[in-house]
Structure 1
């Protein structure tokens, strides 16, 4: 018996839709905002690639990475400077942007600039944060906690539905498997699709090793593309990937980020897998 791919609802992001049977959207960029020049360069390069390949693209980078292993870990440029840079990326490159929020009071301010809000995995059960994000009316991408079963995310869907915001995406980023390790159960992608909302696969955080480098997280970049291919073959609505021109010199999450120069070849294969999955 061949199982049909569950059809998810479509959500509007700027001038395109995510979900249903649309080609996967790419959500990508450096882990944290480092400076304006690098953010613009990466955004322009990825947009050029996506335009050539016919992929919708959302630029992602965080003005603050609050969930850090060490108090000395790099967190970003801060809200004021980060939003200024994201606004410039949005207007100059002409693409939608998404960034992390960590506290309810940030939602309204950040929503003035970005096109989507993202709730980190560790905060996915914070009701006040979800409600505040949902009340902005923007699409909200909620990452599944590393400690939750995929079907537990139905409560996030209910919270958003209760406040009247149907523009929700759920992201798989792996589950805790022993100490300092994640594992991705690909069945979870199918289980979350049953909730009816677009499902995203976070290909880079899924290979993270939390605290693996003592005062910061490690990662296994070699597993990013194989896991991405598996998720696309199963069927996902978007791929989340942190991308950097030189990951080994990045101030955070370098070991699991993709090289910018590798992205186009990766996406060419991704399209083929997505086309097969969406035909089912």
Structure 2
């Protein structure tokens, strides 16, 4: 039996709720040119003088709303990896978790990759964006550039077209207030960045595929983009604006976030708390957040299939 390694990569999370830990994580995250594309000479003074001075306390308050014994993103990514590992163990796979920012790092997780016959690196981002999957490629490339003996390594670019992905999302909608208007909310990116990559088209294709699999009429769903950061225009419509309009119209709504593999700050706090309040304050009557696929069996099956195919 071959000895194979699968690394499931997520964005990352602060190590704790301590303000210093949050500041350290934000420093690493927001220093990446893939995340903030402004020239370094402009951005780094803003980052160090203002963002890292004032933002950690605000971010801490948000994390405190969702934190359990650890960050939900870490707990659920670990649980998903365990479930995938159980499915693949008999086939010779070892399944690990790595984070692009924070721990466990890709450097540590890939350290012994040459001892495996094959390695698959799977960023847990169904749609490709340079700020997510591209950042993983950058990290892996820098690690390999320092390595004399290279592993037999496969990186998976995107998996939004995998049939099991749309099917699992559609299944999660079936019992979630089926009479409500469906809003597909994806993480936004700057318009200037979106013009250079396929992210927006892949998000729209995903929403259409899930809507079709769930049997939704075109009038019964919308797509929007969340998590805008900074003054530049991002992909539109903005989730906040769509929810405000639906609230004013008194339409029940259910929100699903197909781009997030597991729960995180953007789903649990931004969508299910902040934007829920936005919708209700606008006059909305019924708001349902549809959970991410997380460590559900269908999701573990999907990821296991991707690993198998990537390592074939």
- State if a TM-score over 0.5 links the two structures: no
- Which is greater in Rg? 2
TM-score normalized with structure 1 length: 0.31
Structure with greater strand share of residues: 1
